[in-house]
Amino acid sequence: MEYIYASLLLHSAKKDITEDNLKNVLTAAGVNVDEVRVKAVVAALKEVNIDEVLKNAVAMPVAAAAPAQ
Amino acid sequence: MEYIYASLLLHSAKKDITEDNLKNVLTAAGVNVDEVRVKAVVAALKEVNIDEVLKNAVAMPVAAAAPAQ
Amino acid sequence: MEYIYASLLLHSAKKDITEDNLKNVLTAAGVNVDEVRVKAVVAALKEVNIDEVLKNAVAMPVAAAAPAQ
Amino acid sequence: MEYIYASLLLHSAKKDITEDNLKNVLTAAGVNVDEVRVKAVVAALKEVNIDEVLKNAVAMPVAAAAPAQ
Amino acid sequence: MEYIYASLLLHSAKKDITEDNLKNVLTAAGVNVDEVRVKAVVAALKEVNIDEVLKNAVAMPVAAAAPAQ
Amino acid sequence: MEYIYASLLLHSAKKDITEDNLKNVLTAAGVNVDEVRVKAVVAALKEVNIDEVLKNAVAMPVAAAAPAQ
Amino acid sequence: MIKMSLTVQQHKIPQWKIEEVKELKEKIKQHKTVIIASLDGFPTDKLHEIRKKFRNVMEIKVSKNKLFERAAKESGIDVSKIEQYLTGTNAFIFSNKNPFEISLMLSKFKLKRYALPGDKADEEVVIPAGDTGIPAGPMISVFGKLKIPTRVQDGKIAITKDTVVAEPGQPIPPEIVPVLQKLGIMPVYVKLRLKVAYHDNLIIPGEQLELKLDEYKSQILESYKNALALGVEIAYPEPEILKITLGKAYRNAMALAGESGYITPESAQAVFSLALAKAYALAGAISGKVDLGIQVPT
């Protein structure tokens, strides 16, 4: 999930999710960056309206059934 | 949410959520780091069992997301 | 459900759900194509606004069953 | 979602979700196949019990949709 | 439920739900038509926005029976 | 959904869901009958225990209460 | 000469004060965190319990504000930023821990005291069944008024049943306060109020020091949900996310099957459930007006 968190961090900090930015963040977090993956994530996120996705994520019914132990 | 995303990034990368690590990640993301906040987050997350919180989240519906346009 | 998955694949790839396209995909997946089914599916889907269906499918409360441990 | 629908199609057709099979299906659907993504999806799905996931998905609300227009 | 199914069939086929239409459909299905009931159903449905009702039915969580096993 | 409603009507009227019966009902409802679809539905229903399916559907919390007018 | 010695005389500071400032300076120098905590209204005997509990983590010193201010100034702390907190009676906490951690530790350590008239209960106050040792007398009517069942046994009042006299947050009936003391029940929490922390040249006001862990938890949850949602949206190939994406794809397929009436053994349930839901909705909409001869679940 590192690539997703790093992307969300950038988005949240109002920075563009570019390959360089993503790599910087991941490297700073001590992640061994996989160039191809970075490219894939950046490309995929370009087609997504992140704000919209997050809005719906929050609006989601949090029927958080706690796992029955 | 930058501080939380950064923390989850570290957690996901199996790094300790220390002040230094957090500051590094935030700085790499271009965030103007607030020292007090970093300290607060680090102290709070020492008390919170992130894995436990996430486990409960998984029981949760993540329907998510706007229709792809 | 192969015919539905194949249709969704085509829809997702922004291709028309025609008999030929459906047959191609199904064949590539190693499915023994049943002409009647193909025709039926193509005809039925013509009457459906797939985007609308998907939007609603996703927006629905996904009252997650707690993962049985 | 193309890679996901293609995977489910293969699963539903009781074919192995291998890189080759996935590529064949995607190509037949006219998708420009991204080798890296195929690898990633195949690898990730190896760790997922698809039948289990689908069973749980059904425990969730059976979809639905706006009336066909 | 025959009268309801027949009404839905007519509605779905974009035909008016008249006494004659309803009787025709029911008769074709081999149902012994009850004139009074036909009249009552037709009259009652006149006051109902069927599309609206169906839309709401669908938006509801049809919480699928979890596969009992 | 016409084919489904017609099937349910026949089932509810305790008639066999044969191609002829289905065609009769659909024709009576003014539907332009698509032979292929009729065949597909009848064939598909042969593999399904409708009573069982309906029982489960009803057993479900089909919260399909009428919308308050 | 005489004048000079007079001046010295005037500025003569008692030796103990000099010693104390020196000690405070040492402690400031040796610790990264200095917290000023208010002792106003804080029972001093409880300070001892805190000291005992946390002696490996922090040192607590009660001192005069003036002396601390002098020590702080001489240690190079910008006193102008903390002098507003140097009023009333204060304790000074020295530690090398992150001040937020200190704050958490202190808030988790429940110190209890006896109730005073007018106090609210911090936890459920139960008068336990059993002998009270209180001689039968006017107290019987107090118990009666509070609906505490009693009987007299050997001239003493005995409670016959555990009885709650105050729920958490409720005021404690003043009449019962002496009884609680007699029974050794301490239903009120005391907490050291942290006024400000000085740490690494940062001044952190007390209200900021209180970490709301529940908020952190919900933020983590929200972040995680966001990550999953975003991951699902781009069908990110990671098992954690794929599980959800597969479920979504499956539900999409079922929805499409349902809406298009596509029947397979797998989709039949979805198809007929949808059809039935619609049928029942329609039946429900007219059931008040028409006898359909069926039962419509509502």
pLDDT 10s digits, D53-68: 888 775 544 333 333 3
In the numeric block, which tokens belong to residue G32?
A: 């990264």
Exposed/middle/buried for residue F68 (C-beta within 10 Å: 0-12, 13-18, 19+): exposed
Q: Closest Cα partner for C28 from D13, G62, G291?
A: D13
Stretch B10-21: mean pLDDT, rounded? 96
Distance CA E56, CA D66 (A): 9
Question: What residues of chain E have any CB closer than 8 angstroms to a CB in chain C?
Answer: 58-59, 61, 63, 66
pLDDT 10s digits, C34-48: 998 999 999 989 988
pLDDT 10s digits, A29-47: 999 999 888 988 998 899 8
Show which subunits contact G, needing at least 3 CB pairs below 8 angstroms.
A, B, C, D, E, F
Distance CA G128, CA G149 (A): 11
User: Sign of torsion, CA E37 E40 E44 E46?
Assistant: positive
Q: What confidence score (pLDDT) does residue G28 get?
A: 94
The β-bridge relationship of strands G188-190 and G111-113 is antiparallel
Domain ranges of chain E: 2-54
Q: What confidence score (pLDDT) does residue F58 get?
A: 60
How many CB pairs below 8 A link A and D? 7
Chain D residue numbers with beta carbons less than 8 Å from the beta carbon of C62 are 60-61
- The average confidence (pLDDT) of chain E is 82
DSSP state of G175: G
Stretch F11-38: mean pLDDT, rounded? 93
Question: What is the CATH code of the structural domain delimited by C2-57?
Answer: 1.10.10.1410
Q: What is the DSSP string of B5-41?
A: HHHHHHHHTT----HHHHHHHHHHTT----HHHHHHH
Q: Which helix (H) or strand (E) holds G152?
A: strand G150-153
With beta carbons less than 8 A apart as the criterion, state whether C67 and D56 touch.
yes
Chain G residue numbers with beta carbons less than 8 Å from the beta carbon of F8 are 272, 275-276, 279
CA C57 to chain centre: 13
Question: Where residue A55 falls among pLDDT bands split at 50, 70, 90?
Answer: confident
Question: Angle formed by the axes of helices B19-28 and A19-28, to 10°?
Answer: 170
Distance CA B16, CA G256 (A): 45
Kindly tell me if the per-residue pLDDT of A53 is higher than 70. yes
Q: Poorest-confidence range of B59-63, C49-53, D24-28, G114-118?
A: B59-63
Exposed/middle/buried for residue G115 (C-beta within 10 Å: 0-12, 13-18, 19+): buried
| Residue in F closest to C47 by C-alpha | F1
Question: Where residue F66 falls among pLDDT bands split at 50, 70, 90?
Answer: very low
Q: What confidence score (pLDDT) does residue G232 get?
A: 87
With beta carbons less than 8 A apart as the criterion, state whether G36 and G86 touch.
yes
Q: What is the DSSP string of D2-69?
A: HHHHHHHHHHHTT----HHHHHHHHHHTT----HHHHHHHHHHHHTS-HHHHHHHHHTS-----SPP-
pLDDT 10s digits, C11-41: 999 999 999 999 999 999 999 999 989 999 9
Kindly tell me if the per-residue pLDDT of A67 is higher than 70. no
CATH topology of domain E2-54: Arc Repressor Mutant, subunit A (1.10.10)
Q: To the nearest whole angstrom, how far is the Cα of C68 from the nearest Cα of chain E?
A: 11
Distances (CA, A) of E18 to C9, E52, G288: 41, 19, 20
- The average confidence (pLDDT) of chain D is 83
**Touch between chain B and chain E: 3 or more Cβ pairs under 8 Å:** no
Chunked into runs of 10 residues, chain G (298 residues) has average pLDDT values of: 50 85 94 94 86 93 94 92 93 95 91 89 90 83 86 87 91 90 89 92 92 92 89 86 86 86 83 85 82 61
Assign domain B2-55 to its CATH architecture.
Orthogonal Bundle (1.10)
Kindly tell me if the per-residue pLDDT of B12 is higher than 50. yes
pLDDT 10s digits, G112-146: 889 988 899 999 999 999 888 888 888 888 888 88
> Residue B49, Cβ neighbours under 10 Å: how many?
11
| Residue in E closest to G295 by C-alpha | E1
CA A6 to chain centre: 5
| Residue in F closest to C41 by C-alpha | F37
Q: What confidence score (pLDDT) does residue G69 get?
A: 95
Question: What is the CATH code of the structural domain delimited by F2-53?
Answer: 1.10.10.1410
The CATH class that applies to domain A2-58 reads: mainly alpha
Q: What confidence score (pLDDT) does residue A36 get?
A: 84
In the numeric block, which tokens belong to residue E15?
A: 């035909």
Kindly tell me if the per-residue pLDDT of F62 is higher than 60. no
